[in-house]
Each structure stands twice: as structure tokens, then as C-alpha cells.
């Protein structure tokens, strides 16, 4: 299987402050990766670096063999990267349908397919973004990213602040995306919820890669996950 994303010896941060050091990882097309670690470890900075909104210091990022290190965020999105930020960043003054279509690109993910995927969104298609619940906003953020027809979907803490029943609904949706072959990187604090969904996992500690391997191994090896998540 071909590699979709290759990161080599990446160092990045914000302004003059370096957050990530010597980060390297590979993700094959059709596979999924959980990014774990304590708060402030650099997980979100890794996603921000992939989409191109951090200060680049060294290293490289390739998508399907193409070097995107120097590309703008807009051009990285055009190369096939979809992003669901922790803040969701939906357009609150636009309707659900307008949110979904305003940045859409042609491809398999159409408005009707997103509505079939998240029926709640079709029920609320005329509602403004600021009239949605937190769970509905998260579904809308995911749906909007899918309307870009990405090859790689990045999600930053998709379960944060969601009621358990809504979190389960979002997780079920992510599971369908994974089983459908969409490549995905998920930053998530709820490690034991996300690991069964993903093929691979990595743990970041103080901006460096502390562990990487199969998600199943991280779950099955007695005490390993707890030890890694306790790093500081």
C-alpha cells in the first residue's frame, strides 16, 4: 500500500517558540492514526503543522510523494487535506446547507451523501450555525470537511464536550469513514475510545515522539498506555 503522508524530522512551533522537535511518521493510504499525549504535549501543533499554520523550522512533509512543506494552507487543502479543528470554526451566520456548500469541491462527497451520513444535518439544513447544539456543530464541521473530498482527514479532539450519546454517534460516523477507506489522523484525549477505531497510534511528549506502533498493541500490552499517558 502506498504512503499517503510522510513527515521527516519536523521541527515547528508558533512565532519564535519551538513546540515540535524531530517528529517523523508515515501513514499509508486508507489507514488511520491516533495521536495521543497529555495536554500541551504538541498534538494540536502537529495537526497545525500538517495544514500549514505553524512556523516551520526544519524537516519536511510529503503527501503522496509531493513535498508540501512550503505550500500555503489553501494549497495544502487543495492537495487533499481536510481539517476539523477543535474549535469547529463553523460559519455561525450561515445555514447548515450554506456551511456545507460554501467551500465544497467536486467528488464523491456530495451534499446528499453528507445528509445521508449525518441525518441530523438534513433535518436542520435551514438552521443557522449558531442555532445548533455542540454535537450538531461537530457533525457540521466533519460534514464540511468531507465536502472538500479529502484524501486525508485531520480531526482535533472530535469528542470534546459532547454528551455521551452524541459522542457515540460521532464515533460511529468516524468508524464508517475508516471502514470506507478514508485516511484519518485523530487527536483525542479519550485514548481507549479512539484506539479501537485506528490502525496506528503515536504518543507525543514535550514535542517529541515518545512511542509509535499499532493501536492494538498499545491497548493490549498491560500498563503501556497508562505509562505513556503519564509522561511529563
Residue 112 within a domain: no
138-166: burial string, b at 16+ Cβ within 10 Å, e else = bbbbbbbbbbbebbbbbbbbbbbebeeeb
Domain ranges, residue 192 = 1-80+153-159+185-232
208 domain-assigned: yes
In a domain, residue 113? The reply is no
Pairing of strands 152-156, 81-84: parallel
Paired with 201 in beta bridges are 34, 213
- Whether the CB-CB separation of 68 and 228 falls below 8 Å is answered with no
Residue 106: HSE in the Cβ half-sphere, 13 Å Cα cutoff: 0
Note the pLDDT tens digit of each residue in 97-144.
Answer: 999 999 899 999 999 999 999 999 999 999 999 999 999 999 999 999
pTM: 0.94
144: helix, strand or coil: helix
pLDDT digits (tens, 9 = 90+) for 172-187: 999 999 999 999 999 9
Cell of 53: 499554520
Q: To 10 degrees, the CA torsion angle through 44, 46, 50, 52?
A: 70
Task: Specify the pLDDT at position 231.
Answer: 77
User: Is residue 73 included in any domain, yes or no?
Assistant: yes
Q: Name the domain count of the chain.
A: 1
Q: Strand locations in 78-232, DSSP E?
A: 81-84, 152-156, 183-187, 200-205, 208-214
| Residue 101 located in a structural domain | no
129 lies in a domain?
Answer: no
25, part of any domain: yes
Residue 124 lies in a domain: no
Amino acid at each position: 500500500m502506498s504512503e499517503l503522508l510522510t513527515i521527516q524530522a519536523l521541527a515547528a512551533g508558533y512565532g519564535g517558540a519551538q513546540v515540535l522537535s524531530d517528529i517523523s511518521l508515515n501513514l499509508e493510504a486508507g489507514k488511520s492514526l491516533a495521536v495521543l499525549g497529555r495536554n500541551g504535549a504538541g498534538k494540536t501543533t502537529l495537526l497545525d503543522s500538517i495544514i500549514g499554520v505553524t512556523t516551520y523550522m526544519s524537516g519536511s512533509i510529503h503527501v503522496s510523494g509531493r513535498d508540501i512543506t512550503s505550500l500555503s494552507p489553501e494549497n495544502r487543502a487543495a492537495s487533499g487535506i481536510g481539517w476539523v479543528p477543535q474549535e469547529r470554526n463553523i460559519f455561525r451566520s450561515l445555514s447548515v446547507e450554506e456551511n456545507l456548500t460554501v467551500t465544497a469541491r467536486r467528488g464523491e462527497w456530495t451534499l446528499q451523501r453528507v445528509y445521508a451520513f449525518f441525518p441530523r444535518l438534513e433535518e436542520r439544513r435551514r438552521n443557522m450555525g449558531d442555532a445548533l447544539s455542540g454535537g450538531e456543530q461537530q457533525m457540521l464541521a466533519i460534514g464540511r470537511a468531507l465536502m472538500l473530498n479529502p484524501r486525508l482527514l485531520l480531526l482535533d479532539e472530535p469528542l470534546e464536550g459532547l454528551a455521551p450519546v452524541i459522542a457515540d454517534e460521532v464515533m460511529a460516523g468516524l468508524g464508517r469513514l475508516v471502514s470506507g477507506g478514508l485516511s484519518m489522523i485523530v487527536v483525542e484525549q479519550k485514548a481507549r475510545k479512539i484506539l479501537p477505531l485506528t490502525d496506528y497510534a503515536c504518543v507525543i511528549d514535550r514535542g517529541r515522539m515518545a512511542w509509535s506502533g499499532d493501536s492494538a498493541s498499545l491497548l493490549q500490552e498491560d500498563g503501556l498506555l497508562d505509562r505513556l499517558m503519564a509522561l511529563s
